[in-house]
Structure formats: C-alpha cells, structure tokens
Amino acid sequence: MKKVCIVGCGAIGSLYAAHLARVAEVWAFVRREEHARALNREGLRISGKHQFQVSIRATTQAKELPQFDLGIVATKATQVEESIVDVGVHFDEGAVVSAQNGLGSEEIIAGHTRGQIIRGTTFMSGTRHSDTHVQYELDTATWLGPFEPRNTPHAIVNEVAELIVAGGLQAEALDDARPAQWSKLIFNSSVNGVSALTGLPHSPHFADESKMSSLGHLLHALIEEGKNVAAVAGIQLHEDPWEMNKIGAKTNHPPSMLYDIRHQLPTEVEFLSGAIAREADRAGVPAPLHTAVYRLIKGKEASWNFKDENQDATHGKPA
Amino acid sequence: MKKVCIVGCGAIGSLYAAHLARVAEVWAFVRREEHARALNREGLRISGKHQFQVSIRATTQAKELPQFDLGIVATKATQVEESIVDVGVHFDEGAVVSAQNGLGSEEIIAGHTRGQIIRGTTFMSGTRHSDTHVQYELDTATWLGPFEPRNTPHAIVNEVAELIVAGGLQAEALDDARPAQWSKLIFNSSVNGVSALTGLPHSPHFADESKMSSLGHLLHALIEEGKNVAAVAGIQLHEDPWEMNKIGAKTNHPPSMLYDIRHQLPTEVEFLSGAIAREADRAGVPAPLHTAVYRLIKGKEASWNFKDENQDATHGKPA
C-alpha cells in the first residue's frame, strides 16, 4: 500500500486526505496539536457530493513521519516554506504535488526535497465545518503535470493521477501543467485582487461592462494583460480566464483573498498578481494593472500595522 | 458692504465664512437646522493659526436669502448639485467660487446660476471641532481664476481675491486657474485613490520606491499618467504633483476619501480619478491606472449595499 502525506489540512487538504485514505495509508502533517489529536481520534468525515468517514493518522512532528511515496502540499502559498522545511526529506524517494494558487510554490518545495515535483492545479472546493468535517462541493479535476526544472517523468505524474482517481476524486495527467496553472493564475489574480480591494465577493459586478465605471472592464483588462504575459512566456492557456470569470461572477463566492483581508491575514498576492508582475518584468512586457493591484494589496497589508494618532481627524474636510 | 453667501459650512466653508465676516455681510447656507441655529446663536470661532470670533447669519431655507455679490460653494463635490439647485438664482447678479476638489463642479454650478463663475483651488486646512468652532491649520492660498466657458472677467476674479485677502486669508487671482486646479487634481486623485484602497493615510509609504512592490512606484505612475493627460489637454501644471506628494507623505494626513470610505459615505471619485479617466477618453490618450482606481472605488461603494449569505463562508479555502 502506498504511503501518502497531506501537508496542511484545510478544506482542500482534508478532501485529498479523506479520499486517498480509502486507497492508501494517509498521514496528515498539521500545525495545531489540537487539530492532529482530533484527526487521530475522529478521522475525517466528508459530506456533500461524497459522503463517507475514514481514519487517518495525523501529527505536528515531522520526526514521527515515515518515508512517503507521495506528498500533497495543500497549505496556503504563504505557508509552503514553513510547512515543507521539516518534512521535505520525507519525500526524497517519492513525489510531491503542489496544490497552491499561483506561481512559485514548486520552486519553494524543490528547495527542500530531492523527490519528484508535480505541478498541481485544482478547482475542487469544499466548506470546512470543523477540523474533522468537510463538505465536498465542486467535484472538479485536479490537473497534474511535470515541474520542468526537474523533468518529472510522465509515468510518475500518471501514477499520481491514477491514485487520486482511485480515491474517488477527479484528476488528469497533462504533458504540460503550465497552461492549466496559468489559466487559473490569471483568473485567480484578477478576481482575488479586485475582490480584496473592493470588498465585493465574486459577484455579477465582475462581469458587468455596461458603463465606463463598470468593474467588468477592469477584470477584462487584467485578464487580457495576464494573457499577454502568458503568451510572451510561451504558454498557451488551457481555458479562457474571462469565460471562467463570467461563470464565477454568478456565484457570489468570496475569494480566499477577501477572507484574508477581512481577517487581516497575509494574502497570497506575491504568488498571484505579484508573480505576474515579476514574470512580466523578466519578459520585458508591461503589466501595469497587475503591478498596481500587487502594490495596492501590499499597501493594504502594511495598513494593518500602521498606527498614527491623526487617523480619525477630519482635517480640511468639507462637511 | 458686500453680501457673501457660503454654501456648506464644513471646515473649509467655516474658514471662509468667519474670515469674510470681518469685511462683509456673511450668510451661511447649510443643510441641518441645528447647524443653522448654532451659527445664528454662537457665531463662528476660529482657533489655531488665527484666533477670533464673529457673528454670521445662517439658514437652511433658500427663500430667506437675499441677492449676493459673492457665493463660495464649499460642500463636497458630491453635494454641489443638491446645494446649488435652490440658491443658484441668488448669485445671478454676482459671482460664485467653486472650492471643490477635482473637475466638474463649475459645470454643475453653471447649470443653476447666471452669475460669473470662478474656479477656486485651495490647500487651506482646518480641523472642525464643532458646528461653531474650527481650528485653522495650513494657512495657504486659494487660487482663483476664470471659468473659460463663461469668460469670467479678470477684474471680477481680482475683486474676489482682494475681498478674501481683506478678510485675512491668502488668495491669488490667476489668468488661468486650470494649471493650479489640475496640479491639485492629479495630486488629489492619486493620493486619495491609493489611500482609500489601501486604508493607509498619506504616510511615508506613498513616497517609498525602494522595492518593486513599493507604493511610491504606483503614486509616481498615477501622477505621470495624470500629467500626460494634462499635457494632451493643453494644460501646463502650476506645481509638480510628485513634489506635493513627497511633502504630504511626511504628514500622515488622512485624505478625505479615506474618511469617506471608513464611514461608507459617497466619495468624490467621479470628480477625481473618474474625471481624469473621462478627460483621457475624450482626448484619446490612455489612462489605465486612474481608470482602474475609478472602477475599484466605484466597486468599493457598491460593496456597501451588496449583501449575500455566502459572504463569510470559507469555500475551498486551504486553512
């Protein structure tokens, strides 16, 4: 039986852990002692699209872990570094899938393991009701593909996709994962950035282009800019991010960066608009809008720690 | 003795009203009954840079007003229309100064009076402690100039500047007010927009260009874009908005749009970045950053009225 470790058990990590536990020996590596204890005691319950209960093993201590055939890193992009630093060696003889939003997680993982690295992009979603209960919602594929700097063999990508499918989730092995990763990158950067700055969830405003001031024009321009950077980087997109935006705008779904902003948590902007801005800079192509979104969100993060006694005065303000 | 009416008595309006009351018969036209009663009972007290107390007349009823030699509209730009609609005829034989931020107030005023119209731009500031007490802070000039569509005679602009100076404030009559108005427009649009979107007051971040993610780069780009629109519109600036920004960034001053955002009040964005976006559109020159700021702030305003039960769920969010 294969040994699998899920690093980070939020909604997405829990969905992988529970499904894979039906066909493999699954460990969860988590940060909170209480979380590990609850998982060891109660296992994981999935409701919604799939309904079952499984036992898994969980720990906060890397030294308790065996060598794994497969790891799936399912933390936020901002937490990959701290999560992988101690467990990376446990994948040295196996493979590791990155399941983060945006660009840059694979490079961080590669710095801490000699294992094979697989680019993962997923659109599955779930609602996390507790440490041990996740409701499965969007039953969509995880796209898997090689991490080019290490020439990940296609056979290994295939094997991982088959294991995930055997567990009951959808997965697809691709010869090149970047078209899928960039489609989601461009979609996510544009939608998360605008949502975080306006406070709006992914609502019909995001596809409205009826007036000059309409937000849909900005989404369209952000997406076009991202597509242009992708084209210059030699990447043909897997799906059109504008079409993805039009569908998402009907859901009123709160993007994760809106959640982060509301709770004053570090956002993934470095891996989203920040990554597009850096890729554009490297390629010598302009990306003024993603660069602006990047700087505004960094400014927003800075505002949480900025305190000044003048903050609520009304200098020069006509009433 | 000249008859003067100040429309809107916030910090700026109160400073004009009190100083002019020393050399003219001053009326205040305000919205709140309580405000009018307090002004009639107690007059206006100025502290800070200047210190004195004066009596003025105040009312909420346009029909109680006489014909005036001079009006100064000192409401927020968003309130000019509702303020001027009933009092405009009382200036038909006089002159009206607009003291709003941004572009577009003069055109609104012109729609409601046959009087002479004067473009006003001021950097004075004060802190409003109550309906009858304002602390005078930045003792800087009000720049006055003609409203070109009506060919306001220079003699009238001069006369108004002299009256304001006689009252103890600084004022300067210019042959063309647009260089001053546009300098402040570009400065204000850039600083207010970034402040409203990040939540930061006008702090050192706004002039910091040390990293790729630094906010100073965005301010610089917004200001350059505004200068380009001004140049295409044939306007030579009175001051360099980037220099104004560098000075302001040392003050930690909360711009008025930050106040509006915090209190969920309609912002002046239509008269600031929105005005630059429209001028750029008219001139056929690109202004992607001001247009983006415009759309983001409109989205932010829309978020205050957008309610959806999903708003605090954590769909698909890795913990």
Residue of B nearest to A125 (CA): B316
Q: What angle do CA A120, A19, A133 make, to 5 degrees?
A: 105
Enter the ipTM.
Answer: 0.90
pLDDT at B307: 77
> Which chain A residue is nearest to residue B294, measuring alpha carbons?
A213
Task: Compare A123 and A209 and report the one with higher pLDDT.
Answer: A209
CB of A151 less than 8 A from some CB of B = no
Interval A243-268 mean pLDDT:
95
Q: Which amino acid is at B94?
A: G
**Per-residue pLDDT reduced to its tens digit, B213-265:** 999 999 999 999 999 999 999 999 999 999 999 999 999 989 999 999 999 99
Q: How far is A270 from chain B (nearest CA, A)?
A: 9
Residue B296 has pLDDT above 90, yes or no: yes
Spatial CA neighbour of A150 closest among A118, A125, A181, A177: A118
pLDDT range class, residue A214, cuts 50, 70, 90:
very high
Residues of A in contact with B198 (CB under 8 A): 296, 299-300, 302-303
Indicate whether A65 pLDDT > 60: yes
pLDDT at B317: 43
pLDDT at residue number A308? 62
CB atoms within 10 A of CB A34: 11
Residue B28 has pLDDT above 50, yes or no: yes
Q: Does B265 touch chain A (CB under 8 A)?
A: no
Are B213 and A295 within 8 A, CB to CB? yes
Mean pLDDT of the A28-32 span: 97
pLDDT number for residue A166? 98
CB within 8 Å: B200 and A299: yes
What pTM was computed for the model? 0.91
pLDDT band at B313 (very low <50, low <70, confident <90, very high): very low
Residue with structure tokens 């008269």?
A: B271
Instruction: Judge contact between B53 and B22, C-beta under 8 A.
Output: no
Q: Give me the mean pLDDT over the B273-287 stretch.
A: 96
CA angle A302, A308, A310 (to 5 degrees): 130
List pLDDT tens digits, range B32-75: 999 999 999 999 999 999 999 999 999 999 999 999 999 999 99
Across residues A256-274, what is the average pLDDT?
Answer: 96
- The mean pLDDT value for B78-101 works out to 96
The token pair at B204 is: 């050192």
Question: B74 contacts in A (CB within 8 Å)?
Answer: 318
Residue A318: pLDDT over 50: no
Q: Within the 53-112 window of chain B, which residues sit less than 8 Å (CB to CB) from chain A?
A: 74-76, 99-100
The confidence band for B308, taking pLDDT boundaries of 50, 70 and 90, is: low
The secondary structure of chain A as a DSSP string is: --EEEEE--SHHHHHHHHHHTTTSEEEEE-S-HHHHHHHHHH-EEEEETS-EEE--EEES-GGG----SEEEE-S-GGGHHHHHHHHGGGGTTSEEEE--SSSSHHHHHHTT--SEEEEEEE---EEEEETTEEEE----PEEEEE-GGGT--HHHHHHHHHHHHHTT--EEE-S-SHHHHHHHHHHHHHHHHHHHHH---B-GGGG--SSTT-HHHHHHHHHHHHHHHHHHTT---SS-HHHHHHHHTTTTB--HHHHHHHTTPPPSGGGTHHHHHHHHHHHT---HHHHHHHHHHHHHHHHTT---GGGG--TT---
Query: Of the candidates B137, B95, B96, B144, which has an alpha carbon nearest to the alpha carbon of residue B120?
Result: B144
CB-CB: which of A75, A277, A317 is closest to B11? Answer: A317
CB of A120 less than 8 A from some CB of B: no
Number of separate helices (H) and strands (E) present in chain B? 11, 12
For the stretch A158-187, pLDDT in tens is 999 999 999 999 999 999 999 999 999 999
Closest chain A CA to residue B275: A213
